[in-house]
Amino acid sequence: MAATRAYLDYNASAPLIAEARAAMVAALDAANPSSVHTEGRASRRLVEDARRDVARLVNARPEHVVFTSGATEAASTLLTPDWQMGRGAVRMSHLYVSAADHPCILGGGRFAAAQVTRIGVDRNGIADLEALSAALAAHDKAAGLPLVAIHAANNETGVIQPVGRIGEIVKAAGGVLVVDAVQAAGRIPLDMSGSYADYLILSSHKVGGPKGVGAIIAASDLMMPRPLVNGGGQEKGHRAGTENVAGIAGFGAAARVALAGLAEMEAIARRRDEIEAIVTELAPDAEIFGNAAPRLANTTFLAIPGVKAETAQIAFDLAGVALSAGSACSSGKVGPSHVLKAMGRGDSLGALRVSIGRATGAGDIEVFRAALAGIVARRAGKEEAA
C-alpha cells in the first residue's frame, strides 16, 4: 500500500470538514430539542440555527427545511402517491424519473413498479425533454397528478440537467417536480426562490458534513408528502423521531462552508481539467463521458479501453488513490454502470469516477498521475504479450 494517499472520491463522500466536526462535538451532550426546559431550548437553538444555514445554501425559507436521516430517506418520503394539502389529500398517480437517476430515485420510493416511467437520456446523459413532454401530455390527470423526479447533477458523470427547462415542462403539465440536488449542492448555485423545483433533496456528507443526515427542502409548505416515519410531532409532523442534534449541527456548519466555497469552483474546475489532461496524455484512447455537456467542476467519469474498471480501481487503491468504479452505492456490484447503459454506452468495460474537492492539491494529482502511468504501462505489457 502506498505511503502517500490521494482521496479523489468526493462524490461518494466529502471528508468531514473541521467546522462540522467542531459543531458536532459541541452538540454531543445536547438535550432533547423537544424539551421545554433551558437545556432543551438550547438544543432547539442548535437545530434551528442549522436549519437556517441549510436553507441559505439553496436560498430557501428555514421553515421549509425538514431534516431526515439522509438523502435516501428524503427520496423515499417524497416519492409517494399520497400527499397532504391542509386537511385534504392529494394523489400523485404516476412517477416519471430519468433513466440515469441515482438508485434511490430509480427505485420509485412508495410507488408500485407499474406506476413508474423512466425517461431516456442522450449520449451525454441529458434527459430527453421531448420524451418527458410527451409522457406528461399523455398522463391521465383524472387519476391524479404527475410527479417528476430527476437529479440536478449526475453522481457518476457530473452532468448537469437543465432543471429550469424541466421545471417549465412539469409546471405546464400541472405536475410536481422533485430535484435530487445531492451532488449539486455546494458545487453549483441553487436557488429555491427562482427555481421551478417544488422540492429538493440534500445530503450532509456530500458537502463535508457527517453521514446519516439529509434534508427535504420545499418551495412551500402548502403541500407535503404523507410521512414515511410516523410517531411524534418532530419536524412539524413531517418526520417523526428525536432530531439528531449533533449530526444536524454538523450539517449546518458544512452548509455554511459550502455556500462560501462556491467561489472556489473555478479553481476546482482547473484541477479537474489538469486531471483530464493527464488522462489524455497517458491514455490518448481514453473516453471521458459527458464532457460535451455542462458538468460539475469536480467530476470526471472515464473509461480506458482494455482496462476493466474494477481491476483499475484496485490498482489505483494499491498505488495510493481512492476513487470509485462508478457510484459508491453500487461499486461493489459487478456489471456495467446503469448511467452508461442509459447513455447508450453499455458495451464499456466500466468506468472510473474521479471526484475532487477544495482540499485536493497538486500532490494528490501527482499521486494520480503516477498510479495511472503504472496502469497504462501494464496494459501495454499485456498487449505486447498477446
Active-site residue numbers? 329
Contact assessment for residue 101 and residue 181, using Cβ atoms and an 8 Å cutoff: no
Q: Give the N- to C-terminal CA distance of the chain in Å, as an integer.
A: 29
| Look-up of cell digits 429555491 | 192
CA distances from 55 to 23, 198, 246, 385 (A): 17, 14, 18, 58
Distance of CA 174 to the CA centre of its chain: 26
Q: Is 68 helix (H, G, I), strand (E, B) or coil?
A: strand
Hey, what amino acid is at 46? L
Q: Enter the C-alpha cell of residue 340.
A: 452508461
Contact assessment for residue 278 and residue 365, using Cβ atoms and an 8 Å cutoff: yes
Is residue 152 within a helix (H) or strand (E), and if so which, with residue range?
Answer: none
Q: What is the Cα–Cα distance from 47 to 244, expressed in whole angstroms?
A: 9
Q: What is the Cα–Cα distance from 378 to 118, expressed in whole angstroms?
A: 40
Say which residues have a Cβ less than 8 Å from residue 6's Cβ, sequence separation at least 6.
320, 321, 322, 360, 363, 364, 365, 367, 368
Segments in the chain forming alpha helices (H) = 18-27, 38-57, 71-78, 103-106, 129-137, 163-172, 245-261, 265-282, 309-318, 338-342, 362-385
Q: Enter the C-alpha cell of residue 280.
A: 489524455
SS (H, E, C) 178-200: EEECCCCCCCCCCCCCCCCCCEE
Contact assessment for residue 177 and residue 198, using Cβ atoms and an 8 Å cutoff: yes
